[in-house]
Chains A and B, each alone.
Chain A
Amino acid sequence: MGLPKFNYVAPETVQEACQILEKLGGQAKVMAGGTDLLIKMKHGALRPKTIVGLRKIKELRKISFRKNQGLFIGAMALLEEVASHPKVKKLYPAVAYAASQTATVQIRNMGTVVGNICNAAPSADNIPSLMAFGAELIIASPNGERRILLENFFKGPGEVNLNRGELVKGVLVPPPPEGSGVSYQFISQRSKVDIAAVCVAAMVVIDKGRTRDVKIVLGAVAPTPIRALEAEGLLRGKKLADRSIQKAAEQASQEARPITDMRATSEYRRLMVAVLTKRALLEARQMALAS
């Protein structure tokens, strides 16, 4: 399958990139690894006139951790680099795990976590756990930077809150709170190597036996990844007993708005939300208690 024709530019700074994007507007597309973008172009779903490659912007490849600020994953950090980064593995195991379960070795050597986010697929593997950690995006534009909570970034499948001239510089993940645990669970029906039919991340913070904070994020069951707010409400401030986990899981399944597609029917997805939410909460609880 051939690619349609386009121009290619590779700016060397974020500033320069933003200026190009500002000038070209909708006719240009940012490219990180290209593993989503080029496929969409091959299938004819996208036909940008210009591709703005981020490869030459050295600072974007960075992954760093600072105790008070947390983890920064630059826009060009590869999935594989995130998956194998010692600090990420230790302090954000669900983030490393999600990255390590995305696609295949080769695609992880090309694709990025930020690309996975910006592609805004409802099934994206890396979004739920980052949302559960309360991650923010750092967005650059010709006039400076802004921050946005990851969960406010998505408008619909493939649609995100970015204005003309803007690009995502990276994700900032706050330091994990004391007594917290985050688990990522996903299921695909057909193979161990597959796009998720349903994915769920759960974060709990346990303080003196009570659930001080909880987040449940559901993927692939709505136009964007969503929080199961009512299910969270059932747990907040309570003891995290098996029974309440089961109840919350059932509630989450009610909050899901799944569709039927090639990968699963809506009924199956709904059932799986309950199963995966339960498993995620159980694992998160275990991690929280062990921390």
Chain B
Amino acid sequence: MREFSVVGKDIPRPDAWLKATGKAVYTDDIKLPGMLYGKLLRSPLPHARIVNIDVSKAQALPGVKCVITGQDIPKVKYGNWRLFPATQDEYALAIDKVRFVGDEVAAVAAIDPDIAAEALQLIEVEYEELPPVFDIESALKEGAPVIHEESPNNVSVTRKIEYGDVEEGFSKADYVREDTFTVHAVSHAYLEPCSTVAQCDLDGRITLWTSTQTPYIIQCLLASTLEMRENDVRVIKPYVGGGFGGKMELRPWEFCAAFMAKLTGRPVKFTLTREEELATGRRRHPMVIYSKVGFKKDGTLVAKDLKISLDGGGYNSMGPTATFLCGNFGAMLYRYPNYRFFGQHVYTNKPPAGAMRGFGAPQSLFATETQMNMAAEELGIDPIELRIKNAMVEGDVIPDVATISSCGFIDSLKEAARMSNWKKKRKSLAPGEGIGVGCYSFISGGVFNWFNTQYPFSAAEVRVFSDGTAHLLTMASDIGQGSDTALKQILAEELGLEMKDIRVTSADTAVTPQADLGTWGSRVTLMAGNAVIDAAKKIKEKLFGAVSARFNLNVIYDMECKGGRVYAKGRPDRGMSFGEAVAMVQKAQRGEPLVARGYYTPRGKGLVTPAFSFGAQVAHVAVDQETGKVEVKKIWTAHDCGTVINPMAAEGQLEGSIHMALGYALSEQFVMDKGKTLNTTFLDYKIPAAMDMPQSKSAIVDTYEPEGPMGAKEVGEGLVSPTAPAIAEAVYHATGYRCKDLPITPEKILKGLRDTKKRKRKRS
């Protein structure tokens, strides 16, 4: 392994002290002179035709400066799958129909938020109700109400993967099991509600500050929906209070703020309420997952047949990607010689599901991992042994999916078993306690270009100065995960500088180099990291040239940047300070500053991703046999994320993932009634609190990813998948209740306990 000076260290994030002192500026903290406040009118009905909208009373309210409806805006649909315009199914404000409770119908901008809210009450909308559908089954029925004319069967996207011969595979199996799993919707519940501020300058150009993960995507889609040129729209990402996939599309308030800023000539701000976020916001896809797997007697997998239906809600949102990915994740972790997947994205009259941390993996892997645990029991093989037997290894190729260029899966399994004392605990826990395992694999960025970007996937510009400092410009978006810090670390490492020597400017589409697809799919470290290294290498070539000329070095000398100096490797005296070297280059260029751009676009890496992370997790639970309440006592994780850029940050990603997955497994759920979300506060949408969080112990398995920057892979998303199946297995171990429909509730456990007792009585 390579020795690093800055990479691999617990470096506190440079932005942390701004956040600790309350000085970090988030979008809603921005106030501009003359700014108006916007609010959205949303549909109270799940499915209806808009017959008429009368805004005259709202317009007449003193203080109201602008009211718009779908009739006022350019008729341009948008959606992130720009490559396939047929999937773009949304208008910023509903034009003909509303398709879920919360669908945006009109917008108001006023001098004060209270007045804007009052004006909403004065807008009169006449609807003609249409029959709604709320679940996959009814949406797929013959004669079901059609939600989008373009998809008469309510299926908007399908995807198939097939390799080997599944039927033949099953014919050779000694043991086959078929199960259907259902998983539910959950909220990103980022703590910062969406917020946006738009300003229109004198020549009509738009600047938008917005809480987003994808400034470049917002820039492009905003330009097309406003019918403007891309370069006339500037998107700036201030500090963002979490995203988790929920802030990666153009959203109606961003459009409305910009559109109304143009109309009024005044800045316009929209900030959603938590109630809006929970009642109408994007969510993780509920899915119905049918999975059939076949094994040999000794536990060797022979085939898998996977059919997934995604409940997409009223619009496509990021559903097409989720449909694509859940099938890929179904093929991961284990070597399935024969594999078939069919996925379909189904419209229903509910708030659309979108991208959420894990992007198809938590659902798909809940099924995979639970089924592995069930099979292990029936085959009489230890669940970890069964996994090791079938585990993917470096060099494995999955047709149409990927090549595994580095893989620490088996080591992760072994390490998780060792740390948790698996063998012993599996046999000798106190009554009511249980232990279970779950695993994951995840992508380090997508190779697919459904956004149809005309630019590299990631870009970086590095400027260096004779005072020994550097300036990194990148469109990569830090939304709290710490990419500004990681990229700074990578640059510091490459240039041999310290963190404090580097200034970072990120995520401003008018200033940072084109382009970056944003923060999702765990792509930032790998892709933007590689772009930074590319730029740094170009800078170093120049510096090496200058130093080499100055000391008249033989061309065979290797050179390096380290400790603030540039010198011949092994001959530190043949060198100079970083700043002096920059000055020399600049002199040689007759004043032209030393600047370089770096790019990264994955090529020849299959259809999915350049690199996969892997990991295994063990959960220990105690279940109160009378109340059915589950306490997760401890979680052990061993994972392979390649070179760790910042261990403290990696652990933070792990613990954050456990938190989110704990909610997914046990406490978070939308309560819906006829398409309406009933639990719209954090009092009733229950994300775990500090007291609910278990202890966490982790180990990082040592691997080096050849495609990653300095060997790194993803660490931010995959970890959200193993927890739910691990807890479900632990609960089964403790009680005999097997969860195939998330979440695991005390009520289901009590019923399971009663059933177990009955079964035992029958047997005896």
Interface mask (A241-267 → B, CB under 8 Å = 1, otherwise 0): 000000000000000000000111101
Q: Which residues from chain B contact A5 at a C-beta distance below 8 Å?
A: 114
User: Which of chain A's residues has its CB closest to B684's CB?
Assistant: A262
Total A-B residue contacts, Cβ distance less than 8 Å: 46
Find B275's partner among A1, A191, A193 (CB 8 Å cutoff). Answer: A1
User: Which of chain B's residues has its CB closest to A103's CB?
Assistant: B683
- Is A275's CB under 8 angstroms from B627's CB? yes
- Is B686's CB under 8 angstroms from A191's CB? yes
Find B117's partner among A2, A194, A265 (CB 8 Å cutoff). Answer: A2
B273 nearest CB across to chain A (Å): 5
Which chain A residues (104-148) contact chain B, with CB distance < 8 Å? Answer: none
A265 CA / B747 CA spacing, docked (Å)? 8
A262 CA / B745 CA spacing, docked (Å)? 13
- Residue B626 at the A interface, CB < 8 A? yes
- Is B683's CB under 8 angstroms from A195's CB? yes
Which of B114, B686, B689 has the most chain A CB within a 10 Å cutoff? B686
Which chain A residues (255-291) contact chain B, with CB distance < 8 Å? Answer: 262-265, 267-268, 271-272, 275
- Residue B678 at the A interface, CB < 8 A? yes
- Is A268's CB under 8 angstroms from B746's CB? yes
A1 CA / B276 CA spacing, docked (Å)? 10
- Is B689's CB under 8 angstroms from A192's CB? yes
Given A2-B113, A195-B683, 16 more A-B residue pairs with CB atoms under 8 Å apart are A1-B274, A2-B117, A189-B629, A189-B745, A190-B686, A191-B667, A191-B686, A191-B692, A192-B689, A192-B691, A192-B692, A262-B671, A262-B684, A264-B747, A267-B747, A271-B750
- Residue A38 at the B interface, CB < 8 A? no
- Residue B700 at the A interface, CB < 8 A? no
Q: Which residues from chain A contact B750 at a C-beta distance below 8 Å?
A: 268, 271
| Residues of B bordering A, CB below 8 Å | 113-114, 117, 273-275, 626-627, 629, 666-667, 671, 678-679, 683-684, 686, 688-689, 691-692, 745-747, 750
- Is B684's CB under 8 angstroms from A263's CB? yes
User: Which of chain A's residues has its CB closest to B671's CB?
Assistant: A262
- Residue A240 at the B interface, CB < 8 A? no
- Is B684's CB under 8 angstroms from A187's CB? no
A201 CA / B445 CA spacing, docked (Å)? 55
- Is B746's CB under 8 angstroms from A189's CB? yes
| Residues of A bordering B, CB below 8 Å | 1-2, 5, 187, 189-195, 262-265, 267-268, 271-272, 275
Q: Which residues from chain A contact B273 at a C-beta distance below 8 Å?
A: 1
B487 nearest CB across to chain A (Å): 36
Find A189's partner among B113, B114, B671, B747 (CB 8 Å cutoff). Answer: B747
A38 nearest CB across to chain B (Å): 13
B621 nearest CB across to chain A (Å): 15
Q: Which residues from chain B contact A195 at a C-beta distance below 8 Å?
A: 683
- Is B629's CB under 8 angstroms from A187's CB? yes
- Is B688's CB under 8 angstroms from A191's CB? yes
Q: Which residues from chain B contact A194 at a C-beta distance below 8 Å?
A: 686
Q: Which residues from chain A contact B274 at a C-beta distance below 8 Å?
A: 1
A69 nearest CB across to chain B (Å): 37
User: Which of chain A's residues has its CB closest to B631's CB?
Assistant: A192
A268 CA / B667 CA spacing, docked (Å)? 16
User: Which of chain B's residues has its CB closest to A104's CB?
Assistant: B689
B754 nearest CB across to chain A (Å): 10
Q: Which residues from chain A contact B683 at a C-beta distance below 8 Å?
A: 195
A102 nearest CB across to chain B (Å): 13
Given contacts A2-B113, A2-B114, A191-B689, whether A268 and B747 have CB atoms under 8 Å apart is yes
A264 CA / B627 CA spacing, docked (Å)? 12
Find B678's partner among A191, A262, A271 (CB 8 Å cutoff). Answer: A262
A39 nearest CB across to chain B (Å): 8
B628 nearest CB across to chain A (Å): 8
- Is B747's CB under 8 angstroms from A193's CB? no
User: Which of chain A's residues has its CB closest to B678's CB?
Assistant: A262
- Is B627's CB under 8 angstroms from A193's CB? no
Residue pairs across A and B with Cβ atoms less than 8 A apart, 28 shown, are A1-B273, A1-B275, A5-B114, A187-B629, A189-B667, A189-B745, A190-B666, A190-B667, A190-B686, A191-B667, A191-B686, A191-B688, A191-B689, A191-B692, A192-B692, A193-B691, A193-B692, A194-B686, A262-B678, A262-B679, A262-B684, A264-B747, A267-B747, A268-B746, A268-B747, A268-B750, A271-B750, A272-B627
B194 nearest CB across to chain A (Å): 15
Q: Which residues from chain A contact B114 at a C-beta distance below 8 Å?
A: 2, 5
B28 nearest CB across to chain A (Å): 14
A163 nearest CB across to chain B (Å): 31
A64 CA / B128 CA spacing, docked (Å)? 62
Q: Which residues from chain A contact B746 at a C-beta distance below 8 Å?
A: 189, 268
- Is B747's CB under 8 angstroms from A275's CB? no
A34 CA / B207 CA spacing, docked (Å)? 40
B298 nearest CB across to chain A (Å): 42
The 6 A-B pairs of least Cβ separation, nearest first, read A190-B667, A190-B686, A192-B691, A193-B689, A268-B747, A275-B626
Q: Which residues from chain B contact A189 at a C-beta distance below 8 Å?
A: 629, 667, 745-747
Q: Which residues from chain B contact A264 at a C-beta distance below 8 Å?
A: 747
A267 CA / B747 CA spacing, docked (Å)? 9
A209 CA / B98 CA spacing, docked (Å)? 69
A93 nearest CB across to chain B (Å): 21
A229 nearest CB across to chain B (Å): 24
A177 CA / B682 CA spacing, docked (Å)? 41
Q: Which residues from chain A contact B117 at a C-beta distance below 8 Å?
A: 2
User: Which of chain A's residues has its CB closest to B745's CB?
Assistant: A189
A191 CA / B747 CA spacing, docked (Å)? 14
User: Which of chain B's residues has its CB closest to A198's CB?
Assistant: B627
User: Which of chain B's residues has its CB closest to A264's CB?
Assistant: B747
Q: Which residues from chain B contact A267 at a C-beta distance below 8 Å?
A: 747
A264 CA / B745 CA spacing, docked (Å)? 10
A265 CA / B683 CA spacing, docked (Å)? 17
A264 CA / B288 CA spacing, docked (Å)? 24
B157 nearest CB across to chain A (Å): 33
Q: Which residues from chain B contact A262 at a C-beta distance below 8 Å?
A: 671, 678-679, 684
A268 CA / B691 CA spacing, docked (Å)? 24
Q: Which residues from chain A contact B689 at a C-beta distance below 8 Å?
A: 191-193
Q: Which residues from chain B contact A265 at a C-beta distance below 8 Å?
A: 747
- Is B747's CB under 8 angstroms from A187's CB? no
A199 nearest CB across to chain B (Å): 13
A170 nearest CB across to chain B (Å): 27
User: Which of chain A's residues has its CB closest to B626's CB?
Assistant: A275
User: Which of chain B's residues has its CB closest to A275's CB?
Assistant: B626
A189 CA / B631 CA spacing, docked (Å)? 11
User: Which of chain A's residues has its CB closest to B689's CB?
Assistant: A193
Q: Which residues from chain A contact B627 at a C-beta distance below 8 Å?
A: 187, 272, 275
Which of B113, B117, B678, B684 has the most chain A CB within a 10 Å cutoff? B684
A264 CA / B669 CA spacing, docked (Å)? 12
Q: Which residues from chain B contact A192 at a C-beta distance below 8 Å?
A: 689, 691-692
Q: Which residues from chain B contact A268 at a C-beta distance below 8 Å?
A: 746-747, 750
User: Which of chain B's residues has its CB closest to A197's CB?
Assistant: B746
B147 nearest CB across to chain A (Å): 27
Which of A1, A187, A191, A264 has the most chain B CB within a 10 Å cutoff? A191
B266 nearest CB across to chain A (Å): 21
B80 nearest CB across to chain A (Å): 30
A219 nearest CB across to chain B (Å): 16
A75 nearest CB across to chain B (Å): 24
A80 nearest CB across to chain B (Å): 17
Q: Which residues from chain A contact B671 at a C-beta distance below 8 Å?
A: 262
B305 nearest CB across to chain A (Å): 35
B62 nearest CB across to chain A (Å): 15
A238 CA / B745 CA spacing, docked (Å)? 38
User: Which of chain A's residues has its CB closest to B39's CB?
Assistant: A2
A106 nearest CB across to chain B (Å): 13
User: Which of chain B's residues has its CB closest to A192's CB?
Assistant: B691
